[in-house]
Amino acid sequence: MDITLVHGDITQQKTDAVVNAANSSLLGGGGVDGAIHRRGGPEILAECRRLRASHYGGGLPAGQAVATTAGLLPARWVIHTVGPVYSATEDRSAVLASCYRECLRVADDLGAASVAFPAVSTGVYGWPMDDAARIALAAVRSASTRVSEARFVLFARDAYDVFASALR
């Protein structure tokens, strides 16, 4: 698998799937979630509402992933995953690693060969970027998947630099 890094916006990626750093309600939020729904149009939210009404009545638990259409985005699918909120007192890194593994498993089910990831949990959920980068890269590297490109899309220049040094 190729692991690539870009400094950019997840909503612009022409990969088969893009990952949303969702919250467990699946009904939208800020950050990546807000950008995906804004640019992807109402079809994504409509499918999220159907998921809430069927399989995910209690919401999507942290560490899990589920796919919807990508609506108007250049990707074919959005894979929604819910990162853990960072805690300085409890080690939740297994949950963060699970987000990446579960996204790749869903991508395999879809037949998606390329997946673009944001830095899950590093926004409002407060995870320190260097630790999040290390966990994300290790999880993707060690996953058993048919995905041939995992692209990390870092919105801020300093986040890109942190991922680049973690990749080396």
What are the backbone angles phi and psi of residue 63, rounded to the nearest 5°? Answer: 90, -10
Catalytic site includes residue 9: no
Q: Which of 2, 33, 131, 158 is catalytic?
A: 33
Binding residues with ligand ADP: total (CB under 6 A)? 21
Helix (H) or strand (E) holding 44: helix 42-53
Comparing C-alpha atoms, which of 61, 145, 54 is closest to residue 101? 145
Q: Which is closer to ligand ADP, CB of 124 or CB of 167?
A: 124
Q: How far is C-alpha 2 from the geometric centre of its chain's CA atoms?
A: 17
Tokens 């950008």, located at residue: 35
Burial of 44 (0-12, 13-18, 19+ CB in 10 A): buried
Calpha distance 102→121 (Å, rounded): 15
Cα distance from N-terminal residue to C-terminal residue, the chain: 16
Stretch that binds ligand ADP, among 41-49, 72-80, 122-130, 135-143 (CB under 6 A): 122-130
Residues in 22-61 at the binding interface with ligand ADP, rule: CB under 6 A = 31-33, 35
Contact flag: residue 67 with ligand ADP (CB under 6 A): no
Beta carbon of residue 92, minimum distance to ligand ADP (angstroms, whole number): 12
Q: Which is closer to ligand ADP, CB of 90 or CB of 146?
A: 90
Stretch that binds ligand ADP, among 49-57, 60-68, 103-111, 115-123 (CB under 6 A): 115-123
Calpha distance 44→90 (Å, rounded): 33
Q: Which is closer to ligand ADP, CB of 34 or CB of 111?
A: 34
Q: Which is closer to ligand ADP, CB of 144 or CB of 157?
A: 157
Beta carbon of residue 126, minimum distance to ligand ADP (angstroms, whole number): 7
Single residue of 46, 72, 94, 156 touching ligand ADP by CB under 6 A: 156
Q: How many CB atoms lie within 10 A of CB 25?
A: 14
Tell me which residues are annotated as active site.
Answer: 33
